[in-house]
Amino acid sequence: MESFLQFFELMPSWQKLVWIIACLLFSWFLEGIYPLVKLNYQKWKHAGVNLVFLTTSLTINVLFGILTVGIFSLIATYNIGLLYWIDLPIWVELLVTILFLDFVAQYVVHYYLHKISWMWRFHMIHHSDTKVDATTGTRHHPGDYVLREIAALVAILIIGAPFAFYVVYKIVTIFFTYITHANFNMPVWLDKPLSWVFITPNMHKFHHHFERPWTDTNFGNIFSFWDRIFGTFVYGNPSKVVYGLDVLDGNLDENIGYQFKIPFDNRIKTDY
């Protein structure tokens, strides 16, 4: 187990980038062989728009990476965090860390991105995509991504996880981000049982429906039981889902300038 964790602790940035590309290509492959719906769009043009947002996220990630190193140094120096209060097998501590980070840095912050008006303005860009596919997982306004990274740092400080645990969590998160957004028709006999524990492609599509209340459901990223516990879980036929947002012009979902300005346009309705 220690050698496994050491691999992730020493994992260079280029290998993380390769992982991102591999997850995207794998999701694209699934979309190609068994699509959920027929999307009337230019796939590469659509991907180009969403990859612009990926570029801004990667840039922010570099900056937060410097801050993250300081946080982990602080944790190690002063034994900060819940994991220093307990003595469990290392694999149990890793699982606890992934569960905790998924809850705080994914479910909780995602919930508030929908419920607090000024946060929702940034998150709307993720939902403005009218052709949801694997690349939609990378579609985050810089303000949205910063809020998520701040939540992750807070969660790390609380749990006191070592750096290797955090890298494993990020690797798992990247996989689920791409696969759950992919325009992939996972068979119900497989998707539905998996949805008792994990966020699945069919399940997550409801979160991208163009109007509430479906938009405000299925907030999880890795584990689905947070949604079940807090009453935000929805499951049904994903072919009924219509992508986009009813308060935005769907014809401008690939207009990058318009998308970046959405959070600052007070003419756009953000309340219920």
- Residue 67's pLDDT is 86
3-state secondary structure of 265: coil
More reliable by pLDDT, 270 or 162 = 162
Angle among Cα 170, 85, 91 to the nearest 5 degrees reads 45
The model's pLDDT over 156-192, given as tens digits with 9 standing for 90+, comes to 999 999 999 999 999 999 999 999 999 999 999 999 9
Per-residue pLDDT at 271 exceeds 90: no
Token digits for 142? 């810089």
Question: Domains of the chain: which residue ranges?
Answer: 2-264
In sequence order, the 6+-apart residues with CB closer than 8 A to the CB of 161 are 75, 81, 83, 93, 97, 101, 169
Give the confidence band of 74 by pLDDT, cuts at 50, 70, 90: confident
Per-residue pLDDT at 10 exceeds 70: yes
Report the amino acid identity of residue 38: K
**Average confidence score pLDDT of the chain:** 92
Omega prior to 213 cis, within 30 of 0: yes
Q: How many angstroms from the chain centroid is the CA of residue 90?
A: 26
Rounded Cα distance between 182 and 20, Å, is: 14
More reliable by pLDDT, 156 or 78 = 156
Percent of the chain clearing pLDDT 70 (strictly above): 99
